[in-house]
Amino acid sequence: MPRQGMGNMWFDEFLSKYRAGISHEFLLYFNVRDLVDNERYIEQYIYDEFIKARKFSIVAFYDISTGLTFLEPAMEREFHLITSNRAVNVMNALPSRIFPFIDKALKSTKMCLFINHVEKIIPAVDTGSMSLEERVALIWTCEWSNSNKISAVGSTVFLLADNLADVSRELLSSAYCVEPILVGLPNEAQRREYIEYLLRDKSVKTEISIDEFAKLSSGLSKKSIKDIKLKAEAEDVPISFEFIKEKKHSVLRKEYGDVLEFIYPEIDFDDIGGMDLAKRYLIKNIVEPVKKGDLRRVPMGILLCGPSGTGKTLLVNALAKTSGFNCVKIDMSRILGQYVGESEKNFKKCLLGAQSQEPVIVFVDEIDTVFRRGERDDTGVNRNIFSEFLQFTSNTNNRGKVIFIAATNRPDLLDPALKRAGRFDKKIPILLPEAPERAEIFRVVIKKYGFETDVNDFMPLAEKTENYTGAEIDVVVRKAYELASERDGDKAVLTKDILEEAIMKCVPSTQQVEFMTMLAIRECDDRDLLPEKYRELLDRKD
């Protein structure tokens, strides 16, 4: 028998609840189609590690497409003996016809029942919208969880679902004893063990080490990792960083692309000018601690505050590239649906998808407009999503694994619950760049676009662009290229005179800069993160 591997949190959680007598019915969800260890899928694993030692008389499997089947013929014969052969002609029937016989068996002998794709049987719709067949299935599964007879004989029921949000919420109400168990994706140690197992036959070449393969495959199931190996073998190419990145992107887009935006940044901290205090803080309190495994320094969440165009989004992209962590963006346009319960279901999937890729940076832009409690007269969707978000962002188990970073130019509009300690508890002001920073931004932007220039000292230009944001300097540089191209065609060179002309012609468009700057200063909770010139203002804030 294959060895059990490096531990499975979901199985330990199940076993603990089972031994404590908390329940005899469990809903296993999320990564339930994957290999648990090197060779066994979840039903086989549960049989080997749980069922076999406890001498269950019957082990049965129900799927709406295949009906009721059994592990062994003798178990099927015992089932028919218990049900007086009355179920012989309904083994492939819908729940309303076969569940009454399953109920009798569960209460008569020690039986283990697996119900696969339970979301297809009891979908997440209002009970009033359910078909008669779905309501019948819901009643049976709920009643089984509270049955003293089932508990007395030692029967156990496992419900399997890919997405918890797709299953009827009624099943998990406090009136019943169905225990949800998250079956997560393999962690780095488990991926490394499985990769070693996969590559032992040396049928495919690799350009990276097993440790690098394990790190790069974060967010993937073992089945997806195996697919990478098989595709490399079929295409007769070595497993490389780019090969894994391409296949991983395809898998994640297919799985979560409907609810998450994946960010693959091409710039790092060296490619953005200014923001030195913020960059230093992020390196010292996120990148280095996470890589060292010392998560105590990592804040639960970071709020970037400051005027529009100062580079908040750019900073998050550069952090993702510098750290090498996965990065996703919550886009509410992908989450909000037109049907009842659809938005909440999508949001749960969004959070689970983000969590599966840890360590991951989760970016929320303009958070003041994204998450609100909602008004009393709305449908309750905003309140439900807001409540789910509060609960997730305050879960200390996610510290240093799911790193929430939000951006706003109006922190005064944020719900106080979001800004309290234990959620977005570090507020970093991203303010207008100082003259040396503006000079650096000129240099970086020109380099980014690949423009030719004969300017070596950008300080004179920086002094002419006081109160300009980084985005506005970007506009100036592109305007200069436009002017140079009109004069010199393909041989355009950004000279000092052309750049100064562009400055004269470009009018800064950022609105309410002073107001947004003061909001960011007032929100700041760490004077070390404020430029020297603003610290006195922080002392004077109300």
Average pLDDT, the chain: 89
| Three-state secondary structure call for residue 289 | helix
Same domain, residue pair 168 and 206:
no
pLDDT bracket for residue 40 (50, 70, 90): very high
**CATH code for the domain of 384:** 3.40.50.300
Same domain, residue pair 204 and 179:
no
First and final C-alpha spacing in the chain:
68
- The answer to whether position 106 is within a domain reads yes
Same domain, residue pair 101 and 173:
yes
**CATH code for the domain of 205:** 1.10.8
- The structure's pTM equals 0.71
Of 412, 429, 446, the one marking the end of a domain is 429
- 533 pLDDT higher than 80: no
Same domain, residue pair 20 and 160:
yes
Averaged pLDDT, 476-497: 90
Of 204, 230, 256, the one marking the end of a domain is 256
- The answer to whether position 497 is within a domain reads yes
User: 305 is in which domain, residue-wise?
Assistant: 262-429
- The answer to whether position 526 is within a domain reads no
| 60 Cβ contact partners less than 8 Å away, ≥ 6 residues apart | 68, 69, 70, 71, 75, 79, 102, 105, 111, 112, 113, 114
Same domain, residue pair 351 and 455:
no
| 477 Cβ contact partners less than 8 Å away, ≥ 6 residues apart | 442, 445, 446, 449, 451, 494, 499, 502
Same domain, residue pair 18 and 152:
yes
Of 368, 399, 429, the one marking the end of a domain is 429
Report the alpha-carbon distance of residue 416 to residue 422 in Å, rounded: 12
Same domain, residue pair 276 and 422:
yes
Same domain, residue pair 349 and 496:
no
Predicted confidence at residue 281, as pLDDT, reads 94
How many domains are there within the chain?
Answer: 4
- The answer to whether position 21 is within a domain reads yes
300 vs 334 pLDDT, higher one: 300
- 51 pLDDT higher than 70: yes
344 vs 284 pLDDT, higher one: 284
Same domain, residue pair 219 and 116:
no
pLDDT digits (tens, 9 = 90+) for 384-421: 888 888 888 888 888 999 999 999 999 988 888 888 88
